[in-house]
Structure 1
Amino acid sequence: MDSRFINVVLLGSAFMVLFTAFQATGMISQSALEGVKNETVNGTSFHGSGYISMAILYSFFSLTNVFAPAIVAILGPAVSMFFGGTTYFLYVVSFIYPMTWSYYVISILIGIGAAILWTAQGVYLTKNSDDMTVSRNSGIFWALFQVSLLSGNIYVFVALKTQIIDRATRIPLFAVFSIVSGAGLVLFIFIIWRSYVEKRRDNIPPIEEPKKSTAADIVQTLKVAVRLLKTRNMLLLLIPFSYTGLSNTLFTGVFATCIGHYVKYGDTRKRLIGLHGLLVGCGEILGGGLFGFITKPKTASQKALMILVGCILHMIYFYSVFVNFPFDSAQKESTEKPFFDFSATTSQVITFIGSFIVGLGDSSMNTQLMNILASRYKQTTASAFAIFKLVQSLMAAVAFFYAGALQIQWQILIVVIFLFFSTLAFFAVLFDEENTEGIAPLVTNISTEEDDDDTGNRNYSSLVES
């Protein structure tokens, strides 16, 4: 069997195992920490917030994205993924005996580690692919990665059977997740070992190490990014970039907490957070296959249709949350009546249909966004994706900062406004007849004229693209 194919499968498996623990932890973090606040350890109580933690995480993730390619170039992708994955392991372990100061410090570390991990993943996947296998390998990785949404949340649904995630429930739950994330690190160690062995085999072509990134490479990418921000289409795309950060915060963090806070759902309502995550994952996986591989939209009209479908699905989802949940459920346990006071069974049916729908709609919009960036900015990929990740992460951080203060109806209003204008921005970019690659002459002007530098820029582009 092809050695590089094995590497891709191993890469996807490592991410699947690591994120099985992390994604489920992120879903229940706010509810778990509310249980910790009722405890006193060594005379001190816990005052941390899952919302604030995620805001810190995304803030440092966005900032570190600028420097992550240089770090990966120095350490190599395999070692970088191990160090990045270690911060995820520490984050999960911190929930066993959480302390306020250490919890926020680890939130900073995982923000830094996440940027390094995902940059290294892109480099490693690229180095194990060629023009004939890149689509296949990307699909394999994506499919394996999305399975993490299913397995971890299934365990949450089965394991949580109490009204409050107390000490007796939390410690065994996160002990299991810690073991799972530790298993993910073992797989990353295996990747390091394979990389070491392959370099020394005479009969198997070694995986080429990425060229060292320099400060000049980073400055180059930032200069191109500034030039891109002066173009009409990139300014328009800032709106959907922002929307992806805001919406992801709402349905993975805030809405999951609302489910756990709705007293009407009974004493075992915390376990329903796992069911929500499971159905979001099902929607993401089905949507990824449907909108990315089966339909394969090529023309602007076909892509616009996919975006419109995603917009409609998200509108339905946001309306269902608005009418189905108490407005204060994002902040505390709630017995208030929602806009429409359905029975508990009917309310849960609406909730979990919405969970599947939002995953389906999210995959629809994200696949087309990636398509636009990859096809319209071929000569400036590094800068385009750097802008995307920076804006998305910053808006996710902003959304988590206000999640604990704004009632759910105002959070929905903010996201719906961005959704409406994001859809219009998508259409404006898709049906723009001007060549987006008109930025290329600008890139040339600020690039050095030497071939070696051009090669370095293309290499740096591949590093940031992840």
Structure 2
Amino acid sequence: MGLDNEAQAEEGIPSKAFRYNSPVVQVILIGFVCFCCPGMFNALSGMGGGGQVNPEAANNANTALYTTFAVFGILGGGIYNVLGTRLTLCLGCSTYVLYAGSFLYYNHSQHQLFAIIAGAVLGIGAGLLWAGQGAIMTSYPTEDKKGRYISMFWSIFNLGGVIGGFIPFISNYHRTAGSVNDGTYIGFMCFMGFGALLTLTLLPPHKVVRDDGTKVTMMKYSNPTTEFLEILKLFSNSKMLLLFPAAWASNFFYTYQFNHVNGGDLFTLRTKGLNNVFYWAAQMLGSIGIGYVLDYGSQSRKKRGYMGVAVVALLGTVIWAGGLANELKYNGKKPKLDFKDSGTSYAGPFVLYFSYGLLDAIFQNLVYWMIGALSDDSQTLSRYSGFYKGVQSAGAAVAWQIDAHKTSPVKELVINWCLTTISYPLLLVLVDLYVNDKSSPVADYDGDMKDGNRAVKDKNAQM
């Protein structure tokens, strides 16, 4: 008689039927967690100023958010390795509800303090969530599926932004000016609360079995001292140093795009919500497209990495150039555009904002693919992902304060264009030096092999 599903999983042999402990199911689940929490947060932020007429409160709250995110993004991988999947992610997701609630409070009181404190707390939670998410997304799939799993996650995650964009669009349809209504924030809070509960359905890494029969990791949870020392090593790790400019740039442009392209005075209130629907839909399309480039074809993985950087660099240059032309066209005097406007007055800025969403997806999917190509070990990749999110958030904190100091939109655009451009040659170097056709399943830092994974390798060799 054949082994039943549970026995097969225990033996490391996946069944042909649907498996809850398969990488694809776990990646889908973390996708829906992020659909509910950061996906809705993105829809809220994409309104410009957190849905408020005056962006000052949102700028200050986001500065606090990304400051603590920078710290806990880097520490998040270590905390994930100590606390485990469910507790880390549940704690992280619960902070999103508080943040949305702070703007509901601000809608009535116009006092910033609660929003700023909630932003700082969310930065801690987001650091935990994204470190765990990064470990799941990059370490669970086999090498030939990492690009498509990343794009699968990104599509589900950004579907949250699409659905979230409809919330302010529908609830504020008959309003052309002012802040969004209370129902908008309440809708976001409901989704975020459900996302926090959904984290409890995720399995710990050692229970996940790939389609080829290998387990994700045989490691036990780490300890705080080990994690602290391993995190310190990241700052002298040549892989992470090459990744640093791309990480810094990857959320820096959100401030400009949300506050000056979709936010501000260019669009009516309801049109901002509709624009967000298509901005995050563009993210879904972009993730699928770049996932195809990075996973498919007969070329080696190194060549696919080169191709991915070339595609992102080319599209990025074209899109930022189009953005500069748009800013110079208005010269600071922006009309109030509505999606019902006839002619090309609305179409041009709409296509530009759509293109910014496309660029964000292909840029970040490329970086995540490279992180996944550096190792297969869940603990290592949780640290790499945490480092990426920490540096990314430090850049975002700076960007929000640059905007808070009334920097002109043209200057912000040029800064963003320069930062993304600087990262491209360094990503090429990263591909050249560290991306191979088959990454070591356990290589970490100087190529040392972790004992738990060595045991897996030895066991597989005996089978």
Superposition TM-score tier, normalisation by shorter sequence: 0.7 to 0.9
Q: Under a length normalisation based on structure 1, what TM-score does the superposition of the two structures give?
A: 0.74
What is the number of residues matched between the two proteins? 406
Contact kept in structure 1, 2:151 and 2:291, CA below 8 Å: no
Choose from 51, 58, 61 the match for 1:50.
58
What residue is the counterpart of 2:281 in the other structure?
282
What residue is the counterpart of 2:19 in the other structure?
2
> What are the within-5 Å matches in structure 2 for residues 43-82 of structure 1?
49-82=57-90
Contact kept in structure 2, 1:254 and 1:403, CA below 8 Å: no
What residue is the counterpart of 1:101 in the other structure?
113
What per-residue deviation string (whole Å, max 9, x for no partner) do you get for residues 408-428 of structure 1? 111112122223333344455
Q: For structure 1, which segment, 401-410 or 294-303, has the greater mean C-alpha deviation from structure 2 after superposition?
A: 294-303
Q: For structure 1, which segment, 48-57 or 248-257, has the greater mean C-alpha deviation from structure 2 after superposition?
A: 248-257
What residue is the counterpart of 1:176 in the other structure?
187
What residue is the counterpart of 1:32 in the other structure?
51
Contact kept in structure 1, 2:36 and 2:192, CA below 8 Å: yes
The change in CA–CA distance for 1:428 and 1:68 in structure 2 (over 3 A counts) is closer
Taking the aligned partners of 1:301 and 1:128, their CA distance within structure 2 comes to 24
What residue is the counterpart of 2:320 in the other structure?
315
> What are the within-5 Å matches in structure 2 for residues 44-443 of structure 1?
49-98=57-106, 99-123=111-135, 137-160=149-172, 161-166=174-179, 169-189=180-200, 191=201, 210-228=220-238, 235=241, 237-258=243-264, 261-262=265-266, 265=267, 269-293=268-292, 296=296, 298=301, 299=303, 301-327=306-332, 345-375=343-373, 384-404=384-404, 405-427=406-428, 429-430=430-431, 432=432, 443=445
| Structure 2 residue ranges without an equivalent (≥5) | 1-17, 209-214, 437-441, 456-463
| DSSP-derived class of the 2:282 partner | helix
Taking the aligned partners of 1:413 and 1:123, their CA distance within structure 2 comes to 33
Taking the aligned partners of 1:7 and 1:436, their CA distance within structure 2 comes to 25
What residue is the counterpart of 1:338 in the other structure?
none
What per-residue deviation string (whole Å, max 9, x for no partner) do you get for residues 125-162 of structure 1? 57865668766654433321121121111222222232
RMSD of aligned Cα (Å): 3.9
Identity among equivalent positions (%) equals 18
Taking the aligned partners of 2:146 and 2:243, their CA distance within structure 1 comes to 26
The change in CA–CA distance for 1:175 and 1:238 in structure 2 (over 3 A counts) is closer
Displacement of 1:357? 1.5
Query: Is 1:13 equivalent to 2:32 in the alignment?
Result: yes
What residue is the counterpart of 2:8 in the other structure?
none
Contact kept in structure 2, 1:125 and 1:137, CA below 8 Å: yes
What residue is the counterpart of 1:464 in the other structure?
none
Taking the aligned partners of 1:373 and 1:354, their CA distance within structure 2 comes to 29
| DSSP-derived class of the 1:220 partner | helix
| Structure 1 residue ranges without an equivalent (≥5) | 36-46, 200-204, 336-342, 457-466
The change in CA–CA distance for 1:215 and 1:117 in structure 2 (over 3 A counts) is same
What per-residue deviation string (whole Å, max 9, x for no partner) do you get for residues 61-86 of structure 1? 11012322343344321122122111
Taking the aligned partners of 1:115 and 1:20, their CA distance within structure 2 comes to 15
Taking the aligned partners of 1:370 and 1:124, their CA distance within structure 2 comes to 12
The change in CA–CA distance for 1:107 and 1:444 in structure 2 (over 3 A counts) is same
| DSSP-derived class of the 2:152 partner | helix
Contact kept in structure 2, 1:143 and 1:285, CA below 8 Å: yes
Contact kept in structure 2, 1:317 and 1:357, CA below 8 Å: no
Contact kept in structure 2, 1:76 and 1:210, CA below 8 Å: no
Taking the aligned partners of 2:144 and 2:19, their CA distance within structure 1 comes to 14
The change in CA–CA distance for 1:81 and 1:358 in structure 2 (over 3 A counts) is same
Aligned residue identity for 1:279: F
Taking the aligned partners of 1:173 and 1:290, their CA distance within structure 2 comes to 32
Contact kept in structure 1, 2:47 and 2:258, CA below 8 Å: no
